[in-house]
Copies of this chain bind each other. A is one copy, B any other.
Amino acid sequence: MGLTLADDVLGRGLALVQREIDSAFDAILPVPEDSRARLVEAMRYAVIGGGKRVRPLLVVTVAEMYGANRSGAIRAACALEAIHVYSLIHDDLPCMDDDDLRHGKPTAHKAFDEATAVLAGDSLHALAFELLADERVSADPFIRSELVLTLATASGHKGMAGGQMMDIAAETEEFDLHTVTRLQQLKTGALLMAAVEMGAILGKLPDEGRGHLRNYARDIGLAFQIADDLLDHEGDQELAGKALRKDEEQGKATFVSLMGAEAARAQAHALSEQAIGHLAQHGKEADLLRALARFVVERDR
């Protein structure tokens, strides 16, 4: 599982969230009896099992830190994960990154076909907002509406999708460290920021009290991406369950190509420590977040 380096706290926390997310999606996505069956099967294939569920863990942990109930948080976490998974399905398409493997199994368009993969991604995208607008996330419509606004903004052209567009531009343009940082803050950082934000919304934490959580998320997001570049550079392809070293082959700027492996590693660890520092006001209830900050830089896949 690649969790050996991380706290046992984290291993247990992730395993629990993984079970809860899988079981929620299983209930949310019954397979219909008509020709839509293939679509729902593709959605289930992509969204159940596989994936570390880091984003759901962030939502649920922050929500519970501020007293929100776990079952609503799990549904909100499913929404965030549905967005993450839809983006992976579309990202893996032949016209995008053209990847055949994801989490060690064939990508959606390989297991099904391209048209089904496009539609399964689109359907998971819609499902995310269907889940967030449902009373089972929260009885308070203001909370539901804020969750939708946060996730839609973080995943659209101002956030994740914008970062993906920059990532495509990076194949032909020469990006410096500042631009690569900005790209990654959008491409992967925006959803990690949305995760803690959604936890804070569920926990009714006022906007002005969220600064330290946003700083934490920004730091682990960047640390996560630097570690990802290091794994892409040095990692084991089999363990990763996906193709590695594609950026290098394409001559695409990464933290490793711009800083060198050693400086990148030092930077990732510094960011991880800094992230933990932002949690100083919290006691044991934030231990999972601390363990996660260590895990993102110590993982081997």
Task: Select one of B87, B94, B132 contacting A148, CB under 8 A.
Answer: B132
Q: Is A16 an interface residue (CB 8 A)?
A: no
Question: Which of B122, B148, B173 interacts with A129 by CB under 8 Å?
Answer: B148
Query: Which of chain A's residues 62-100 have a Cβ closer than 8 Å to chain B?
Result: 86-87, 90, 93-96
Is A40's CB under 8 angstroms from B157's CB?
yes
Count this chain's copies in the assembly: 2
Partner pick for A168 among B115, B127, B151, B152, CB 8 A cutoff: B115
Contact across chains for B126 and A157 when beta carbons are under 8 A apart: yes
The answer to the question of A263 belonging to the interface, with a C-beta cut-off of 8 Å to chain B, is no
Provide the bound-state CA to CA distance between A153 and B155, in Å: 19
- Flag if B133 contacts A166 (CB, 8 Å): no
Q: In this assembly, does A267 line the interface, its C-beta being within 8 Å of a C-beta of chain B?
A: no
Interface on chain A toward B: helix, strand, loop, or mixed SS?
helix
Q: Check A36–B157 contact: CB distance below 8 A.
A: yes
A123-B161, A127-B152, A146-B133 known; A169-B38 Cβ under 8 A:
yes
Chain A interface, number of residues (Cβ within 8 angstroms): 58
Min CB gap A41→B, angstroms: 10
Q: Is B152 within 8 A of A39, CB to CB? A: no
The answer to whether B123 touches A157, judged by C-beta atoms less than 8 angstroms apart, is: yes
Q: Which residues of the other chain, B, contact A123 by a CB distance below 8 angstroms? A: 156-157, 161-162
The residue of chain B having its C-beta at the shortest distance from the C-beta of A130 within the complex is B152
In the assembled complex, which residues on chain B have CB atoms less than 8 Å from the CB atom of A246?
Answer: none
Q: Mark A30-60, 1 if CB is under 8 A from B, else 0.
A: 0010111011100100000000000000000
Interface locus among A137-145, A210-218, A226-234, A279-287: A137-145
A129 touches B127 (CB 8 A): no
Residues from chain B with Cβ under 8 Å of A252 in the complex? none
Q: How far is the CA of A130 from the CA of B157 in the complex (A)?
A: 11
Contacts A122-B125, A156-B126, A157-B39 given; indicate if A115 touches B133 (C-beta within 8 A).
Answer: no
User: Given A130-B153, A161-B126, do A116 and B148 touch, yes or no (CB 8 Å)?
Assistant: no
Can you list 27 pairs linking A and B with CB atoms under 8 Å apart? A35-B165, A35-B169, A35-B170, A36-B162, A38-B169, A87-B122, A90-B118, A96-B118, A115-B168, A116-B168, A119-B161, A121-B122, A123-B157, A123-B161, A125-B125, A125-B156, A126-B152, A126-B161, A127-B156, A127-B157, A128-B152, A130-B152, A132-B148, A133-B146, A144-B145, A144-B148, A145-B145
